[in-house]
Structure 1
Amino acid sequence: MMMRFVFAAILALSMPMGAHAALPIQSVTSPGGITAWLVEDHAIPFTALEIHLRGGTSLDPADQRGVINLMTALIEEGAGDLDAQGFANARDDLAASFRFQAGTDSINISARFLTENQAQAVDLLHLALTQPQFDAEAVERVRGQVLANIRSSTKDPETIASDRFDRLAFGTHPYGSSGDGTEQSVAGLSRDDILAAFKSAINRGDIYVAATGDITAADLGILLDRLLGDLPTTGAPLPKRADLALKPGVTVVEFPGPQSVIYFGHDGIKRDDPDFFPAFILNEILGGGRFSARLMTEVRDKRGLTYGIGTFLSPMDHAELMLGQFSSANTTAAEAIEIVRSEWQRAATNGVTAEELAKTKTYLTGSYPLRFNGNARIARILVGMQADGLTIDYADTRNAQIEAVTLDDMARVAKRLLRPDALQFVIVGAPEGLTSTP
């Protein structure tokens, strides 16, 4: 589960006006008191809107795992007096698009609409957010789709590894099981359960909004009240902080095939920790996506034990992890794991070199403007920044914060963050010479 969610705030930002131009983000407060971040771009008569509702599948009642996911998938399947087909036709007639997605810690709503159809598109989205039908035909159809996905995931070694790692890490906390639910839990959900989930999750008590495109601050304020003003002000309480129950060692899950999928990790670091940027750079050097990362060099390039290996920081709302993943032949999985442990220890003991730090800074700061890819992506990143508690000038200060990291910072954080003796490896396959540790 956790491996499938990408942490939005570390994505880089830019504007189409040039690689080094500041991102002109405005903070907009509606007459009704709803706040959003806005980047105006009137070149094309189109607006992208992103809404982040804190909570997500972690709000599931313990005996109704998967209800938030099912409910979110049903929001667009009919609303008001429009059935699923009628709603889809109305949306398509406006050349608008809506997307509702349930994540571990949030429900994310994406809307795209033309300026000439803005009012009608907002009204249609408002209808979905306030009067979803959840009629029997749609519930059963979407439930069938969810159940098919769950059945498929039971045969996917990556999903098996991810889910087992989460269970070992978090036990009975919502983080410890898939937000999709199980066949049994989803099959048992009633329409009343879905309605209750809607009331618990769709509210403006803990909401973040971003817009980019052909809309002014004044018009956005009016839109916010029109779309969100009559949503409930509170919902279900968020879950408590997750106690990390992860123990070091190896867990083998038998699965037929020539390769083993391996997930590994231990506790991580909070996004608002003063050491986050050194930790971010450290992760890039150790296991980032580039071929020059240490693990890619040692496990892939020098020994050919995998096609690819990567690590990342996962600061969630209620827990933090540092995670990694790779696949290796059953005959080489044990050797690859020992190399990961060795590289973890080497970095923890010796830190990184001045050359590694300099090159990684150059990469991270130089690639910063290249991550930009249109108004829709800017809106997604802006809403992620808000959810992660970043300041509105983050886009302008991010590179300076990277450049300020020193070798001493890196050495200190490597010793603090990297704990090879705490690593848990979950292996799904038939690895030779590996068995589960007690």
Structure 2
Amino acid sequence: MSERKGSRYALLGLSAVVLVGALGYFFANPDQSVASQALDKAKTEHKLQSLAELDGKAPSHRELDVQTWKTAEGSKVLFVEARQLPMFDLQLTFAAGSSQDDSTPGLALLTNAMLNEGVAGKDVGAIAQGFEGLGAEFGNGAYRDMAIVSLRSLSDADKRTPALNLFAEVVGKPAFPADSLDRIKNQLLASFEFQKQNPGKLASIELFKHLYGDHPYAHASDGNAQSISSITIDQLKAFHNKAYTAGNAVIAIVGDLSRAEAEAIAAQVSAALPKGPAVTKTLQPGEPKAGQTHIEFPSKQTHLLLSQLGIDRADPDYAALALGNSILGGGGFGTRLMTEVREKRGLTYGVYSSFTPMQARGPFLINLQTRAELSEGTLKLVQDILADYLKNGPTQKELDDAKRELAGSFPLSTASNAAIVGQLGAMGFYDLPLDYLETFMQKSQDLTTEQVKDAMNKHLSADKMVVVTAGPTVPQKPLPPPTDKPSEQPLGVPEH
């Protein structure tokens, strides 16, 4: 159950924690009291060389010549030739996430985790040694919308061919050995016991239940103790035959390969998969009922989660919402939430907001933790900040700073082959146009304050939030008054 490290799912969503996904870099506004002043001063005095060269223009980035086709079995392929390094990255993206679990939560995750545990004649150790001996790296992971399987290998034919042969066998014909299933089940069951001591995790599970009701997104991707214990090898095989089919796969390839070599790789991998069509897309959820739920938990701090349904990945307002969220709370210091809740009052170490667009409408979420005796006042403060932001929108300076941050961080989305292959996988999975990265950047830079305000109000409402808190019930104290000087020590430290 491995997953390659690094930011690989920049197109999957804006999130305060890494989930899979989405122009997923955080737009961190400069600290208004320090960084913005320094930047303004630099503009009028001796410019830093990098800023002078920018002069309001977006930095250069890699131009991507994205080529696409379909295999004979129906897999969608996206390919970018990149000759800089003698290696290539391959990623398969399947609509095989937990939204396909049906009545068995955790089935998708367990199937994905078992892929590299054994094939005919090779156990998990032999598979690992096989990839390692070729200088290749295997990765996998499962989320709500999707499951991914990836390979990084040298592009020389003497290394590439055996690595691909092993990869195709692992993905296409896993053996699902019983001893590995028992081991991974025990690991998951142990993690469920640990979750009972984690108020943040408990709050998150409860939040998704209230947010999604009977929708497939409602349950956690890792399932629960009851469902995981009951999963059989036959169920894993059936799920693999349904969801890991060629017709349900997006194949992304980036690296030191010709078009003909990329076509051969895609054809080999596609042919190795079970034959079958794409699975049915996840339906849109119904609107949740606003309200507040509290989980009693013995701790010094209270976790606060505020959420409502956001957008799906195809929504045309995505660029405006991404930029608007970066000003509200999508980055670090300098956002509205961080400035008012941490810097002026010292109520938390961090407060973040995020949109996580998925195949169906994903959540908009604000999350933080604060001292239990200040939790009610802090919750009211956060709700007031959101309401004010929706009413008045961003200032021109906030928008300009956010655009500058986006322009500066945008080249990272194509800075490595691993980053590009993740972008291609998401573009293929969500049926985005091949010029998506370029158009997203241009749309973001052209936005006005009114357009951002209108988009935020179109999709969010301050009085429709689903709120879940986890912590002790204690007498409440008034919040400390705001100050223009940041607190030296925020009250409380993060728990769990």
Fold conserved (TM > 0.5)?
Answer: yes
Maintained 8 Å contact 1:31/1:222: no
In structure 2, distance between residues paired with 1:225 and 1:358: 46
1:310-351 Cα deviation digits (max 9, x unpaired): 001121212232111111010111111111111111112111
Length-normalised TM-score, structure 2: 0.81
Contact 2:168 2:272 in 1 (8 A): no
Tell me which residue corresponds to 2:345.
Answer: 303
Amino acid at match of 2:241: K
Measured after TM superposition, the shift of residue 89 of structure 1 is: 2.0
Shift of 1:164: 0.5
Q: Which residue in the other structure is 1:73 paired with?
A: 113
Amino acid of the structure 1 residue aligned with 2:21: F
Cα 1:26/1:413, change in 2 over 3 Å? closer
Q: Could you tell me which residue of structure 2 aligns to residue 326 of structure 1? A: 368
Once the two structures are overlaid, the 10-residue window that deviates more, 334-343 or 236-245, is: 236-245
- Alignment match, 1:89: 129
Q: C-alpha displacement at 1:254, in angstroms?
A: 0.8
**Structure 2 CA distance for aligned equivalents of residues 80 and 416 of structure 1:** 54
Partner of 2:390: 348
Counterpart amino acid of residue 341 in structure 1? Q
Alignment partner, residue 242 of structure 1? 285
State the match for 1:169 in structure 2. Answer: 211
Question: Following TM superposition, by how much is the alpha carbon of 1:22 offset from its aligned partner in structure 2, in angstroms?
Answer: 4.3
Shift of 1:410: 2.2
> How many angstroms does 1:29 deviate by?
2.5
Alignment partner, residue 29 of structure 1: 69
1:199 aligns with 2:213: no
Indicate the residue corresponding to 1:108 in structure 2: 148
Q: How far apart are 1:432 and its partner, in Å? A: 3.6
Q: Deviation at 1:31?
A: 5.9
Q: What amino acid is aligned across from residue 8 of structure 1 in structure 2?
A: A
TM-aligned CA distance change 1:56 to 1:158, over 3 Å: same
- Give me the whole-angstrom Cα distance separating, in 1, the residues matched to 2:299 and 2:94: 41
Distance in 2, Cα, partners of 1:230 & 1:93:
22
- Once the 2 structures are TM-superposed, how far is the Cα of residue 301 of structure 1 from its aligned partner? 0.4
Match 1:271 to one of 309, 313, 318: 313
| Paired amino acid for 1:188 | S
| Cα distance in 1 between the residues matched to 2:270 and 2:197 | 41
Query: CA 1:281 to 1:239, structure 2 compared with 1: closer, same or farther past 3 Å?
Result: closer
Matches for 1:351-370 after TM superposition, within 5 Å:
351-370=393-412
CA deviation after TM superposition for structure 1 residue 139, in Å: 1.4
Paired residues of 2:176 and 2:233 also in contact (CA < 8 A): yes
**Counterpart residue number, 2:55:** none
Once the two structures are superposed, residues 358-394 of structure 1 have per-residue CA deviations (whole angstroms, 9 ceiling, x without a partner) of: 1111111222114554211221122112223322112
- Matched positions, count: 426
Q: Aligned to 1:325, what secondary structure does the other structure show?
A: strand
Instruction: Give the SS at the match of 1:37.
Output: strand
Cα RMSD between the aligned structures? Answer: 2.1
| Superposed counterparts of 1:30-45, under 5 Å | 32=72, 34-45=75-86
Q: Could you tell me which runs of 5 or more consecutive residues in structure 1 were left unpaired when the two chains were aligned.
A: 13-17
CA contact (8 A) 2:311 2:360 kept: no
CA distance in 2, matches of 1:376, 1:113: 12
CA contact (8 A) 2:61 2:411 kept: no
Which of 90, 96, 105 matches 1:55?
Answer: 96
Q: C-alpha distance in 2, partners of 1:366/1:43?
A: 23
Matched, 1:8 2:22: yes
1:413 aligns with 2:455: yes
Tell me the distance in 2 between the aligned counterparts of 1:172 and 1:97.
38
- The CA distance in 2 between the partners of 1:424 and 1:241, in whole Å, is 18
Counterpart mapping for 1:218-237 below 5 A: 218-231=260-273, 232-234=275-277, 236-237=279-280
